[in-house]
Each structure stands twice: as structure tokens, then as C-alpha cells.
């Protein structure tokens, strides 16, 4: 056994409270090196009466390692533990003291999880596990009130630029709620809606006023109520990393420099505020001079922004905040933010915009979730652009699964594209079959899926501003076959807990090939998802013990003959089969 590859740290994602009575423990071993892993647990103050042995489950693998996990319910909320590895005739033990071939005497030297404190655990709102989000860029979704259009508004459906307007607004969203209900989504995420200077509104000038081109504060409250009546949750975008150029405190610093009472609200490196060789003398988002970065360590700034966070939760019974450029804001601010938000609404869902590994924010004291761009990249690299074989894809997804505790994986904000990326169908080269494979994966994988507005009717668009084009409302120009496909997959996910919270496991992943079989499984249902991400027809088969499977979408029986299910898939096709347990 390769000891050098074995790793466990008695903290964060390796040893964590899953809920009020369960601790989950993980250990890493070299891939395909070890046949079985067991964990020996007990209470250090009463070992004999509490000692237990649990087999560990190999829940994920990446290119180099296997990852094993087990859920343990300690008798008295405390556990000490040791790992036992078995391969062939060899048995190896590991404690905090190191490796041994003999069973180490408990509990001295064992790993220790001192006490399970629910207050310290990451507890995302349970509704997020059932949510299917729909992301709306309000300027481009629907124009419900021409009366509030910007002066230089262009005809709906024109080419988006960085600065033009098409007149979309909140009334437009209210008018289209029946459409969203028909699609089946049950949560919406709106990019910023507060008063700002741009079409994207990521440069706020007034955090407590809805942008006049979008409507009024009363209309936002009406939108919230109308959504809630249809069982649709609402998440708004909190742009707290930076403000807009016209934000009054920033204007005050521009004018009065160091004498401004707001001079410490920003990260000013040098007064007066100006731009030298393209670089502002104050910190900004990127190097955009019109997006000055807040000094969130300043208690006045904290108070101001936390008040905004609380205000909208109470004002419109907001269900969640998405946090813009969340990784560039200090952790202390987000810790305070979580307290304020959860006190105002314990069920609020907090999603950070972080494009990289986000474990630092997902330990229970900051976010519930993050935008899972790494997921989008792997899924589209595999399905849309065919950049890897299925084994590599499975390894990359495995590597994502082991980044976070289970409860974070259950509500991680999975997307294929957004207002900041090319649209999924465009990355698929317009090939609907590839888009469908990507969507099947998104909607049969764990996490909280999000659909970017218009993807469901075949909208295309390259990187922004092109991806931010107007929604197509002429039914004859919508891809209704694609809409029906989205609707069917959404319904399937909503009707089956196994697809949301069930165990996930790759069963086959072709090497030098792009065929895939994976399962989702809970106490009630077992799903097998077959995929052919190649240009040739493929026949796949898998050994199964029972003959009670059916197609999850058509409900036609799918036979098992001589112990095998055989599935023939056309190029870029999929099949979802299931059985009730």
C-alpha cells in the first residue's frame, strides 16, 4: 500500500458535522491501491461501551486518488477514530500518531473530533436542495412597461453592446411568470436591480432604490409576492465588493479628497483620486475606475452594507443573496453578513461568486453555496467541445466532489453559462444534441441547478455583451422542442429525490472514448443515466440483477437479459432508466 498517498486531516472537509447528529469522515488513498477501508470509532471517555467499526464507501475518485467517506452518529457527540486499510493480505492502521501494522490501543494517539456543535456546521436552507433556478438579466428578459424605458432605448432583439438598452424591466418579469411556471423552475436569480448607471447595474449608485428603468421599490415587492404565490423563490444580486462611480460617498471623496468624511470608505492608495497610466489611484473591481472597491473593514461601511442586506430581506421577503466578486471581500465581512441575513430570514440562501476552489467560504460561517463555474467548465469541455475522454471527465467531476462537504455539494449553484460567459448552445457549436447531453448531466447531478434565461428556447450568444441578448418571445422563433425537453427534465428532477439528493457514482467512463454511465440512488429509486458523447452509434451494457427497469421519460420497460442491460445510443444521445426500490 502506498502510504505516501494516504491523507486525512481531522478538520474541514475531511472531518465535519453534516447535521445535528452526524459527523462525516473522509480519507484519501492512491487510486486503485486499496481494496477496503474501515474506520474504528468510539467515545474517548467510554471506549468499551461505544466502540464501533464502520466500512467506508469509496465515494469519488480522481486521476490520482480514491476518496472514502462514512457517516457516523456518535453516541455522545464526540468521537475518536482510527483508519484501517486492507489490500490482499496486508492490513495497515492509521491514527494521528502515524501508521502501524498492529491495532493501536484506543483512544491514545487516535484522531479526535472533540464535539459535534450544530451551531458550527454548514447548514444550508433545505429548500435549496429542491430548487431549480432561472437566471434573469432584467434589462434583456422582457419589457413590460415602455413608459420606463431609457431615452436611447433600441428595438427589442437588436445586437447587444456594452452600453445599449432594450427596455427590459420588472413588470416584464411579472408578466412572464406563467411562462416560468410552465417551464417548471421554482426559483429565480436576478442580476442587480438597484439604481445604477449601466445596463448591467453592477455599478450601484443607490442600494435602496430599484433602478427607475426597471420600476419602483413597490414593484419589486409586488414581483416578490407574485413569485411566492407561484412557489417561486427570489434571489437578488448583492454588489458589495464595489459601488458605482456615482455612489454619493464616492463622489464626496472625489470632490473633497482626504477631507471627505468618507475617505476611509474606499482603498485609496494616493490622493487625489485619479487614473495614472490606466491604473486608478484607488482600488477598484479589475482596473475599472467607475467601480471603486469598498473598504469593508471600515465599521461604517460594514454597517451601511449590512443594513442594505437586511433591508431587502425584510422589505420583499427575499429568499437569497448572490454575492458579486465575493472572493475579493474580507471573510470577516461575510461572517457578519451571514449573521445579519440569517437572523432576518433563517431560510435565506447565500451564494458567493467565486470561480475557484471555495472551501474557505463553505465551512459554516460564511456562504451556503458558490457559483460552480468549475463544474460548467468541465461539463462543457467534455460535452460541448469534446476536449477529453469520459474517464478524464469522471476524474475531473470526482475532483470537484471532494472539494466540499456533502451538504455544500447538495446545494452548490451549478450552471452551464451566465451573463459572464458564452451561452452553452454557442459553446456546443449550435449542436442541440450536445446541449441536451449537458443539460441531462446538469439536471441529474447533485447540487442546485441554474438555467440562464433563453437557453431553454435555443438562444445563442458569445461572451458578454453578446450572451446578454434579448429574450425571444415570438413563439415561432423559439425552439419549442428544446423547451419541452427542458420542461420534461425539470419535471423529472422535481419528481425524484434520488436525482437531487441521492448518491452519485460513475459506473462506466470510457478511456479514450466518450461514453458514460452513472447512477443516482436513494431509498426509493435507482436511476441509470447512459450517455453517448460520440459521433457513432454505441452499444453499452451493464450487469444488473433485476428486470424491473423502465425509461424514466417514456416509461417503456427496458429489459435485462442474461444479467445485462444493453442500450444502443445514437450519436450524442442519452437514455435515463430507473426502477423503484
- Applying CB under 5 A, which residues contact Ca ion? 143, 145, 148-149, 167, 169
Residues labelled as active-site residues:
324, 353
Cβ-based nearer residue to Ca ion, 149 or 513: 149
Cis previous bond, 272, omega within 30: yes
Cβ-based nearer residue to Ca ion, 145 or 368: 145
3-state secondary structure of 7: strand
Sign of CA dihedral 319, 325, 327, 330: negative
**Residues 226, 212: Cα–Cα separation, whole Å:** 20
Q: Which of 216, 413, 183 is nearest to 316 (CA)?
A: 216
DSSP string for residues in 156-174: TT----SS------HHHHH
Cβ-based nearer residue to Ca ion, 167 or 280: 167
Q: Output DSSP code: residue 247.
A: -
Cβ-based nearer residue to Ca ion, 177 or 553: 177
Cβ-based nearer residue to Ca ion, 153 or 388: 153
The CB-of-178 to Ca ion minimum distance in angstroms stands at 19
The CB-of-12 to Ca ion minimum distance in angstroms stands at 47
- Long-range interactions of 52-59: CB distance < 8 A, separation 24+: 53/84, 56/25, 56/27, 56/83, 59/401, 59/503, 59/505
**Residues 418, 449: Cα–Cα separation, whole Å:** 12
Cβ-based nearer residue to Ca ion, 151 or 562: 151
Using CA atoms, how far residue 359 sits from 13, 29, 405, in Å, is 8, 21, 9
Query: Grid coordinates standing for 226?
Result: 407574485
Cβ-based nearer residue to Ca ion, 149 or 328: 149
Length of the chain, in residues: 581
**Residues 13, 378: Cα–Cα separation, whole Å:** 22
Cβ neighbours of residue 144 closer than 8 Å, sequence gap 6 or more: 169, 170, 171, 172, 173, 174, 175
**Residues 160, 352: Cα–Cα separation, whole Å:** 27
The CB-of-144 to Ca ion minimum distance in angstroms stands at 7
The CB-of-138 to Ca ion minimum distance in angstroms stands at 10
The CB-of-145 to Ca ion minimum distance in angstroms stands at 5
Cβ-based nearer residue to Ca ion, 111 or 214: 214
Give the position of cell 452600453.
163
Strand duo 79-87 + 111-113: pairing = antiparallel
Contact 579, 546 (CB under 8 A): yes
Query: Grid coordinates standing for 192?
Result: 442587480
Q: Which of 114, 103, 116 is nearest to 80 (CA)?
A: 114
3-state secondary structure of 218: helix
Beta bridge partners of 65: 30
3-state secondary structure of 476: helix
Cβ-based nearer residue to Ca ion, 148 or 391: 148
Phi, psi at residue 487, to the nearest 5°? -60, -45
3-state secondary structure of 32: coil
**Residues 5, 7: Cα–Cα separation, whole Å:** 6
Give the position of cell 459554516.
364
CA 265 to chain centre: 31
Contact 455, 183 (CB under 8 A): no
The CB-of-512 to Ca ion minimum distance in angstroms stands at 53
The CB-of-140 to Ca ion minimum distance in angstroms stands at 11
Burial class of residue 255 (count of CB atoms within 10 Å of its CB; 0-12, 13-18, 19+): exposed
Cβ-based nearer residue to Ca ion, 148 or 538: 148
Beta bridge partners of 25: 15, 70
The CB-of-196 to Ca ion minimum distance in angstroms stands at 15
Cβ-based nearer residue to Ca ion, 149 or 466: 149
The CB-of-199 to Ca ion minimum distance in angstroms stands at 12
The CB-of-141 to Ca ion minimum distance in angstroms stands at 11
The CB-of-228 to Ca ion minimum distance in angstroms stands at 23
Amino acid at each position: 500500500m502506498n502510504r505516501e498517498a494516504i491523507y486525512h486531516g481531522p478538520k474541514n472537509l475531511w472531518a465535519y458535522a453534516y447535521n445535528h447528529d452526524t459527523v462525516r469522515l473522509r480519507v484519501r488513498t492512491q487510486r486503485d491501491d486499496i481494496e477496503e477501508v474501515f474506520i474504528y470509532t468510539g467515545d474517548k471517555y467510554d471506549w468499551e461501551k461505544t466502540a464501533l467499526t464502520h466500512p467506508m464507501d469509496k465515494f469519488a475518485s480522481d486521476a490520482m486518488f480514491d476518496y472514502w467517506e462514512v457517516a457516523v452518529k456518535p453516541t455522545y457527540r464526540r468521537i475518536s477514530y482510527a483508519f484501517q486499510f486492507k489490500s490482499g493480505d496486508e492490513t495497515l492502521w492509521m491514527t494521528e500518531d502515524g501508521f502501524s501494522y498492529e491495532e493501536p490501543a484506543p483512544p491514545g494517539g487516535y484522531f479526535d473530533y472533540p464535539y459535534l456543535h450544530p451551531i458550527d456546521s454548514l447548514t444550508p436552507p433545505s429548500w435549496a436542495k429542491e430548487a431549480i433556478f432561472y437566471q434573469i438579466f432584467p434589462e434583456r428578459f422582457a419589457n413590460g412597461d415602455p413608459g420606463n424605458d431609457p431615452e436611447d432605448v433600441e428595438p427589442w432583439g437588436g445586437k447587444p453592446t456594452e452600453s445599449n438598452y432594450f427596455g427590459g424591466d420588472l413588470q416584464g418579469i411579472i408578466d412572464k411568470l406563467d411562462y416560468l411556471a410552465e417551464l417548471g423552475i421554482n426559483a429565480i436569480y436576478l442580476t442587480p436591480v438597484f439604481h445604477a448607471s449601466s445596463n448591467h447595474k453592477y455599478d450601484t449608485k443607490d442600494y435602496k432604490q430599484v433602478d427607475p428603468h426597471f420600476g419602483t421599490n413597490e414593484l419589486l415587492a409586488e414581483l416578490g409576492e407574485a413569485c411566492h404565490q407561484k412557489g417561486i423563490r427570489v434571489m437578488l444580486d448583492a454588489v458589495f465588493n464595489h459601488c458605482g462611480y456615482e455612489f454619493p460617498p464616492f463622489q464626496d471623496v472625489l470632490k473633497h479628497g482626504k477631507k471627505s468624511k468618507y475617505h476611509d470608505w474606499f482603498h485609496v492608495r494616493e490622493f487625489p483620486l485619479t487614473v495614472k497610466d490606466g491604473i486608478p489611484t484607488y482600488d477598484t473591481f479589475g482596473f475599472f475606475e467607475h467601480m471603486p472597491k469598498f473598504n469593508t473593514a471600515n465599521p461604517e461601511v460594514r454597517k451601511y452594507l449590512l443594513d442594505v442586506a437586511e433591508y431587502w430581506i425584510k422589505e420583499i421577503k427575499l429568499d437569497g443573496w448572490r454575492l458579486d466578486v465575493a472572493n475579493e471581500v474580507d471573510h470577516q465581512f461575510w461572517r457578519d453578513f451571514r449573521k445579519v441575513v440569517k437572523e432576518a430570514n433563517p431560510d435565506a440562501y447565500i451564494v458567493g461568486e467565486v470561480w475557484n476552489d471555495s472551501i474557505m467560504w463553505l465551512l459554516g460561517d460564511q456562504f451556503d453555496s458558490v457559483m460552480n463555474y468549475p463544474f460548467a467548465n468541465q461539463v462543457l469541455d467534455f460535452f460541448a467541445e469534446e476536449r477529453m475522454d469520459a474517464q478524464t471527465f469522471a476524474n475531473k467531476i470526482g475532483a470537484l466532489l471532494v472539494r466540499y462537504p456533502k451538504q455544500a455539494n447538495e446545494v452548490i449553484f451549478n450552471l452551464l453559462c451566465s451573463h459572464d460567459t458564452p451561452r452553452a448552445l454557442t459553446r456546443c457549436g449550435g449542436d442541440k444534441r450536445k446541449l441536451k447531453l449537458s443539460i441531462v448531466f446538469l439536471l441529474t447531478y447533485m447540487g442546485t441547478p441554474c438555467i440562464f434565461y433563453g437557453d431553454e428556447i435555443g438562444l445563442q450568444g458569445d461572451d458578454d455583451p453578446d450572451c446578454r441578448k434579448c429574450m425571444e418571445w415570438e413563439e415561432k422563433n423559439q425552439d419549442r422542442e428544446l423547451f419541452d425537453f427542458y420542461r420534461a427534465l425539470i419535471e423529472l428532477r422535481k419528481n425524484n429525490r434520488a436525482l437531487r439528493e441521492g448518491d452519485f457514482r460513475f459506473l462506466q467512463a470510457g478511456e479514450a472514448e466518450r461514453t458514460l454511465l452513472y447512477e443516482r440512488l436513494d431509498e426509493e429509486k435507482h436511476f441509470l443515466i447512459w450517455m453517448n458523447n460520440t459521433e457513432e452509434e454505441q452499444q453499452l451494457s451493464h450487469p444488473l440483477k433485476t428486470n424491473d427497469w423502465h425509461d424514466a421519460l417514456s416509461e417503456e420497460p427496458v429489459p435485462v437479459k442474461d444479467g445485462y442491460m444493453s442500450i444502443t445510443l445514437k450519436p450524442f444521445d442519452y437514455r435515463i432508466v430507473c426502477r423503484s426500490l
